[in-house]
Chains A and B, each alone.
Chain A
């Protein structure tokens, strides 16, 4: 964020105090934003710094610097298993929720049908329901019909709350497309299927990818709903929650930091590739 390079008139230079006041006025928003970013990133920086803490079992106070945690991220018991669990859940959820949500988005944007408003409301409701309610009600169902808790109940729960987010993401992309484009394809002898495969799908793909990414990160980071529906099955957030009672190993900080940088890299590469494609 460079300060605005406003050309200063040569003839009459305002006095220094006025110029300072102007500078503050011009940059107030930027200063404010910098403070907001510090607030946003402070815990991230804390996590990153403490991932190098030579702390042993409980990573609460700074002991000393070490590379060991990064060298052996699986050294602490159960950390890596919980991460693998979270990733497996995340992958299944991403696939299913993206598919189901994309279908709904297509129905909502491309078709006019009876019950459209009701459908929209049903999509909105899970997003407007607190997670404790989603989690506890689903658990009530599982307990009533005697479903054993574990991997699959977590997957079911996550798909349920991810669908709505996928729908709105894909919907946004889809409705920003010129509907004429599909009609142009059909006008040029493409059947409905060909128009979909050659025109619509490639154009909506970025939206679907964004929805998938969103579903994965929502699933990966969910704790409240998972905690209700997981039984003995442990995901990464649940591991942290449980471990917090006796001390979180520094390896958890390593994994969280690594996730942060991997996600950052994916988003930036995606942006870069997108720009290249637009220019190319």
Chain B
């Protein structure tokens, strides 16, 4: 049997100006990014955003229309999938139904003509804690077990890059949570570069060292999960990762390290560093102001008015209040007509502010963020509401 001649390569994964077109449709547009060796990297986005196409180009299952793919200094752009030091965990696992679990895991090793197949397969099965089912067929395993076999089948080859295509999508919520931790543990243990494609923001934030948010074939923003969450650069990211209150405002003036903004509800101060790059903050320009619902403090207006003003505030009336246990979710209509969501932690036991209460909302200036104005405020809000369950 001919041994597969697999390229040896290690190092960071570089995607440079990668483009993929299907007919007129541009699935991935001029995408460049670097995934450091040994990191857990997530490609996050709604379905159809190009994340899976990107993954398939790295795997060699799609041929890029333009651009290059490198691992370290070795270019693999047009290499056959079976020559690449890259393995994939497929969305529906794609286990070979006519082979035993053992044979599934051994498949890649045998193709490469590796010696000592037996030990490596057994080690891999031990790693995923499924040694006892080695002789069963895939159909006899549960979804979670099949998922782990798919993982073992890829990991056993020690690829330079391991690709995971929505690997947890078919599992139920509880199993998914468990597998997220499991995946993270295995990645830390084997130290391989993992690239994980998902539409689930929670999954991406739980596991990944850094996350690239994709939309319409381009990367909207790339960074560690906390940075993406605290300082989104676009409306899409602000809404896709968690929830945001966004409202238009006008820049009045710059005051040292702060800018002063105005909207129908009054004036706010924001530190300059909270302004997304490229946003025009000269006097009179329009911007969008964003605040996460959990950063806002809510209180009866009468009480608040008595206290000294700390940070920004707006006044409004409670339109609805839902008690969720750990928190209470309010919808407040401000005097300027904006609707603002507030998640209030249930620190007190005196209960919730009823519908119609006059309230004051306050937040620290450095908790808000400022975005460019020419964006659809609802961008991705529906998408993320649909999938973040």
Please report A residues at the B interface, Cβ cutoff 8 Å.
178, 180-181, 183-191, 194, 199, 202-203, 278, 280
Q: How far is the CA of A277 from the CA of B2 in the complex (A)?
A: 29
> A184 touches which one: B6, B88, B139 (CB < 8 A)?
B88
Q: How far is the CA of A225 from the CA of B111 in the complex (A)?
A: 49
A208 to chain B, nearest CB (A): 14
Contact residues in B for A199 (Cβ distance below 8 Å): 96
- In the complex, the chain B residue whose C-beta lies closest to that of A202 is B98
Contact residues in A for B59 (Cβ distance below 8 Å): 183, 187
Q: How far is the CA of A181 from the CA of B88 in the complex (A)?
A: 11
B73 to chain A, nearest CB (A): 22
State the 4 A-B residue pairs at the shortest beta-carbon distance, nearest first.
A188-B108, A189-B111, A180-B94, A189-B4
B157 x A189 contact (CB < 8 A) = yes
B263 to chain A, nearest CB (A): 51
A203 x B97 contact (CB < 8 A) = yes
Assuming the contacts A188-B107, A189-B82, A190-B107, asked whether A183 and B157 have C-beta atoms less than 8 A apart, the reply is no
B247 at interface, CB cutoff 8 A: no
Further contacts, 7 of them, CB under 8 A, given A186-B82, A199-B96: A180-B90, A180-B94, A183-B88, A186-B80, A187-B88, A189-B82, A203-B98
B81 at interface, CB cutoff 8 A: yes
Q: Is the interface of B mostly helix, strand, loop or mixed?
A: loop
Contact residues in A for B92 (Cβ distance below 8 Å): 178, 180
B94 x A183 contact (CB < 8 A) = yes
22 example contacts (A-B, Cβ-Cβ < 8 A) are as follows A178-B92, A180-B91, A180-B92, A180-B94, A181-B95, A181-B96, A183-B88, A183-B90, A184-B88, A184-B90, A185-B96, A186-B60, A186-B82, A187-B60, A187-B87, A188-B108, A188-B153, A189-B82, A190-B82, A191-B2, A194-B111, A203-B97
Q: 8 Å CB contacts to A: which residues of B345-364?
A: none
Contact residues in B for A187 (Cβ distance below 8 Å): 59-61, 81-82, 86-88, 154
A181 x B157 contact (CB < 8 A) = no
B88 x A191 contact (CB < 8 A) = no
Contact residues in A for B112 (Cβ distance below 8 Å): 189
Contact residues in B for A202 (Cβ distance below 8 Å): 98
Q: How far is the CA of A280 from the CA of B96 in the complex (A)?
A: 15
A178 x B111 contact (CB < 8 A) = no
As a 0/1 sequence over residues 1 to 31 of chain B, the CB contacts with chain A under 8 angstroms (1 = contact) are: 0101010000000000000000000000000
B90 x A191 contact (CB < 8 A) = no
Q: How far is the CA of A194 from the CA of B2 in the complex (A)?
A: 10
A210 to chain B, nearest CB (A): 17
Contact residues in A for B86 (Cβ distance below 8 Å): 187
- In the complex, the chain B residue whose C-beta lies closest to that of A195 is B82
Which interface class (under 10, 10 to 19, 20 to 34, 35 or more) fits B?
Answer: 20 to 34
Most A C-beta atoms less than 10 A away, residue of B82, B137, B154: B82
- In the complex, the chain B residue whose C-beta lies closest to that of A190 is B111
Contact residues in A for B80 (Cβ distance below 8 Å): 186, 191
Q: How far is the CA of A190 from the CA of B95 in the complex (A)?
A: 14
Q: How many A-B residue pairs have CB under 8 A?
A: 69
B81 x A183 contact (CB < 8 A) = yes
Q: How far is the CA of A181 from the CA of B98 in the complex (A)?
A: 11
Assuming the contacts A183-B61, A183-B81, A203-B98, asked whether A189 and B108 have C-beta atoms less than 8 A apart, the reply is yes
Q: 8 Å CB contacts to A: which residues of B78-106?
A: 80-83, 86-88, 90-92, 94-98
A112 to chain B, nearest CB (A): 11
B88 to chain A, nearest CB (A): 5
Q: How far is the CA of A187 from the CA of B97 in the complex (A)?
A: 16
Q: How far is the CA of A185 from the CA of B81 in the complex (A)?
A: 9
A113 to chain B, nearest CB (A): 15
- In the complex, the chain A residue whose C-beta lies closest to that of B163 is A187
- In the complex, the chain A residue whose C-beta lies closest to that of B153 is A188
Q: 8 Å CB contacts to A: which residues of B29-82?
A: 59-61, 80-82
Assuming the contacts A184-B90, A191-B2, A199-B96, asked whether A278 and B82 have C-beta atoms less than 8 A apart, the reply is no
A188 x B139 contact (CB < 8 A) = no
Assuming the contacts A184-B90, A185-B107, asked whether A191 and B98 have C-beta atoms less than 8 A apart, the reply is no
B94 x A184 contact (CB < 8 A) = yes
Q: How far is the CA of A180 from the CA of B92 in the complex (A)?
A: 8
> B4 touches which one: A178, A184, A191 (CB < 8 A)?
A191
B14 to chain A, nearest CB (A): 20
Q: How far is the CA of A187 from the CA of B104 in the complex (A)?
A: 13
Most A C-beta atoms less than 10 A away, residue of B98, B112, B153: B98
A238 to chain B, nearest CB (A): 42
Q: How far is the CA of A194 from the CA of B4 in the complex (A)?
A: 10
- In the complex, the chain A residue whose C-beta lies closest to that of B5 is A189
Q: How far is the CA of A280 from the CA of B100 in the complex (A)?
A: 10
As a 0/1 sequence over residues 148 to 180 of chain B, the CB contacts with chain A under 8 angstroms (1 = contact) are: 000001100100000000000000000000000
A77 to chain B, nearest CB (A): 49
Q: How far is the CA of A189 from the CA of B158 in the complex (A)?
A: 13
B95 to chain A, nearest CB (A): 8
Assuming the contacts A185-B107, A188-B108, A191-B82, asked whether A178 and B2 have C-beta atoms less than 8 A apart, the reply is no
Contact residues in B for A181 (Cβ distance below 8 Å): 94-97
Q: How far is the CA of A183 from the CA of B163 in the complex (A)?
A: 13
Contact residues in A for B91 (Cβ distance below 8 Å): 180
